Amino acid sequence: MTPTRLLSLALVTPALAVVLVLFVYPLGFSLASAFEPPGGGFGFANFIKAFELYDKDILFTPVLIALSTAIIALVSVAIGGYLTLGGNPVAVAVLAWLYRWPLFVPFIVAAQCMRTFLAKNGLMNNGLVSMGLLDTEQTVGFLDWRGIVATFVWKQTPFVALMVAGAMASLDRSTIDAARNLGASRLRILIEILVPQIRGTLMVGLILSFVTMMSVLSVPLMLSGAAPNLLTVDMAYRINAQGDYGVANALGFISYLMTGIVGWIYLRRSLEERTR
């Protein structure tokens, strides 16, 4: 073996060891433990118990994450489209400066901000009352699934919008100028010219956001105390309150399955596009 190859292996080994010890081994142990009943052996008792206790949450989690992902897609495309096609330079500059700020806010801080903003006596309702748009008795809190969706959209939209805006900015503007010369509106240019060309980048951003939101604990824990809730809250409860690692690992396996299905759909579409 040449010295260059030995040096390469020496540089890669620490990083590989960290991945194996801190990610691969815990992941494999969790997946194997999900199929280990309390009495030992192999079985599906943990999954049966997980569905008996948390069937609504198992359905609620992908629906809520998918809803958040869809809204993120719409808002990100709108931001990227305006940054690319906007006619007011000042508005474009302000939007380009503002939309990235939530990127630097951790999820737990975002949840606390939304909790302060969306509560029944929060900033939003107090502002509406002070403007005379609502009476105090008419105020409603949004500390439930609506608050979770709002927080996810606020936090993850900049990440996807940054990728979408960059992809749109790199496109050949001759097609945009040609469409404008033919009288196409900005909305039509966005939908029929820009979005089809950056569809791959948009899909990558949305899948990464979907996986990220599936793993967030602080947001559902702080914004929604009532059932149904996300699976991360159920896993934390089974471990911290019950010491039930078997059911928690079964719920984790179901979460892996959900994210795996999304990843498989993306890979399948990517392969189909490459073979065309």
202-261 pLDDT per residue, tens: 998 999 999 999 989 889 888 876 767 899 999 999 999 988 899 999 999 999 899 988
Give the mean model confidence (pLDDT) for residues 269-276: 74
Calpha distance 241→235 (Å, rounded)? 10
As given in the structure block, the two tokens for residue 126 are: 């107090």
**Per-residue pLDDT at 189 exceeds 80:** yes
Task: Quote the pLDDT of residue 254.
Answer: 93
Q: Are the CB atoms for 200 and 267 separated by under 8 Å?
A: no
Question: What are the start-end ranges of the H helices in 139-198?
Answer: 145-169, 173-181, 186-189, 195-197
Task: Quote the pLDDT of residue 67.
Answer: 96
Q: Are the CB atoms for 95 and 103 separated by under 8 Å?
A: no
What lies within 8 Å, CB to CB, of 69 at 6+ separation is: 206, 209, 210, 213
**Per-residue pLDDT at 276 exceeds 70:** no
Give the mean model confidence (pLDDT) for residues 69-86: 94
Q: Are the CB atoms for 222 and 108 separated by under 8 Å?
A: yes
Task: Quote the pLDDT of residue 159.
Answer: 93
Closest CA to 202 of 260, 157, 261: 157
What lies within 8 Å, CB to CB, of 170 at 6+ separation is: none
As given in the structure block, the two tokens for residue 90 are: 């000042």
As given in the structure block, the two tokens for residue 64 are: 């809520």
Q: Are the CB atoms for 173 and 215 separated by under 8 Å?
A: no
Task: Quote the pLDDT of residue 182.
Answer: 87
Calpha distance 152→212 (Å, rounded)? 10
Which is more confident, 6 or 189?
Answer: 189
**Per-residue pLDDT at 30 exceeds 90:** no
Calpha distance 141→125 (Å, rounded)? 8
